[in-house]
Amino acid sequence: MEFLTDPLQFGFMQNALVVAIVASVVCSLLSCWLVLMGWSLMGEAVAHSILPGVVLASLFGAPLAVGAFIFGMGAVLLIGGISTSTTLKRDTAIGIVFTTLFALGIVLISRAPSETHLQHILFGNVLGTSTADLLQVSGLGALIVIVLLTLRRNFVLLAFDRLHAVSLGMSPGRWSILLLMLLALTAVTALQTLGVILVVAMLVIPGATAAMLTRTFGPMLWISCSSAVLSAITGVYLSYWWDLSTSGCIVLAQSAQFGLAYLLAPRKGLISTWRRASAHPNRLVPNTAAGQSSSPAAT
């Protein structure tokens, strides 16, 4: 019990635990849609592109969330503009935009006053969370969760069947923009916890873990959220007792859960796949090279 109760005697640990849990819940919910829609790279782009917005907001004394959101949405618009106005594919546009904006942020940091801490911006400073930061993260997190759950059916339809969405009168483009706006806000929410680099893990790993364990979307949301919260609590406590990076511990805890799911998932896990292959050694599955069947994993 001392392992659990002693850290909570300090106010900074209470704030750190709450903000880590809030950020993990928000990121894990959105992570499910990013994984299903193949937008994981877009999440990385937005997370890295907010760096110059954070630095500029710090220089001018504005809220960091405002600068981060402006540059996050700017990155989304630039990516969409480049990919639609040229013959370049979306992943190429993503690589151009987020590396350019990330480099701009690094340059701004090199010219910024000394109070702008590069390490805190890049890797987070969850143990330094103030009450104002906690209120900001909680407010943004609550807004994102409410929108996601209220409009859940529309977003699910967007992820699984765009043609059906169009037949129902939905505009996939508008709903995609709304989802990208939520992505930018989510990156801002997780900024205090993990920073602009490791926030990508929060936006990808929980959804990927849940996708390994279930085939239906409802349970996927619950598994992703539970996995992320457990990782947040584990990471905060391990960082306190072993004097380690809090954000790094949170991400490693999530990665460990994904590793277990990858090995032990009842349907998609590596061990169950091997067992099915051993039980049916002559069973064939499609071979992409020869147009025949050669492995049981795809059937």
d(CA 65, CA 51): 11
pLDDT tens, 28-49? 999 999 998 888 888 888 888 8
Weakest mean pLDDT among 131-145, 180-194, 204-218: 180-194
For 110, list phi and psi in degrees, rounded to 5. Answer: -65, -20
Q: How many Cα atoms within 13 Å fall on the side-chain side of residue 58?
A: 20
With the C-alpha atoms ordered 125, 130, 134, 140, is the resulting torsion angle positive or negative? negative
d(CA 41, CA 204): 9
* pLDDT of the residue at 174: 85
In this model, does residue 173 exceed pLDDT 50? yes
Q: Strand (E) positions, the chain?
A: none
In the chain, what is the straight-line distance between the N-terminal and C-terminal CA atoms, in Å? 48
* pLDDT of the residue at 297: 42
Weakest mean pLDDT among 36-40, 76-80, 124-128, 151-155: 124-128
Angle of the 152-160 helix axis to the 172-213 helix axis, nearest 10: 80
d(CA 64, CA 51): 10
| CA–CA distances in Å: residue 34 to residues 91, 106, 186, 218, 247 | 15, 27, 12, 15, 21
In this model, does residue 287 exceed pLDDT 60? no
Other beta carbons within 10 Å of 160? 12
In this model, does residue 291 exceed pLDDT 50? no
* pLDDT of the residue at 288: 42
**Mean pLDDT on 157-177:** 83
**Mean pLDDT on 278-286:** 64
* pLDDT of the residue at 283: 61
Here the tokens at position 240 are 């306190």
For 82, list phi and psi in degrees, rounded to 5. Answer: -65, -40
In this model, does residue 169 exceed pLDDT 60? yes
- Cβ(97)–Cβ(212) below 8 Å: no
Q: Output 257 or 163, whichever has higher pLDDT.
A: 257
* pLDDT of the residue at 292: 45
Q: With H, G, I as helix, E, B as strand and everything else as coil, classify residue 100.
A: helix
In this model, does residue 296 exceed pLDDT 60? no
Identity at 283, one-letter amino acid code = R
* pLDDT of the residue at 62: 81
d(CA 257, CA 241): 21
Percent of the chain whose pLDDT exceeds 70: 90
Here the tokens at position 118 are 């590069």
pLDDT band at 225 (very low <50, low <70, confident <90, very high): very high
In this model, does residue 244 exceed pLDDT 60? yes
* Of the candidates 76, 103, 100, 102, the residue with the CA atom closest to the CA atom of residue 90: 76
For 161, list phi and psi in degrees, rounded to 5. Answer: -150, 90
pTM metric for this prediction:
0.84
In this model, does residue 280 exceed pLDDT 90? no
- Cβ(247)–Cβ(119) below 8 Å: no
Q: With H, G, I as helix, E, B as strand and everything else as coil, classify residue 167.
A: helix
Q: With H, G, I as helix, E, B as strand and everything else as coil, classify residue 215.
A: coil
pLDDT tens, 193-213? 778 777 888 999 999 999 999
d(CA 85, CA 37): 22
Q: With H, G, I as helix, E, B as strand and everything else as coil, classify residue 293.
A: strand
In this model, does residue 114 exceed pLDDT 80? no
* pLDDT of the residue at 246: 87
* Ranges 100-114, 178-192, 225-239, most confident: 225-239
For 293, list phi and psi in degrees, rounded to 5. Answer: -110, 135
**Mean pLDDT on 156-165:** 83
- Cβ(27)–Cβ(84) below 8 Å: no
* pLDDT of the residue at 69: 87
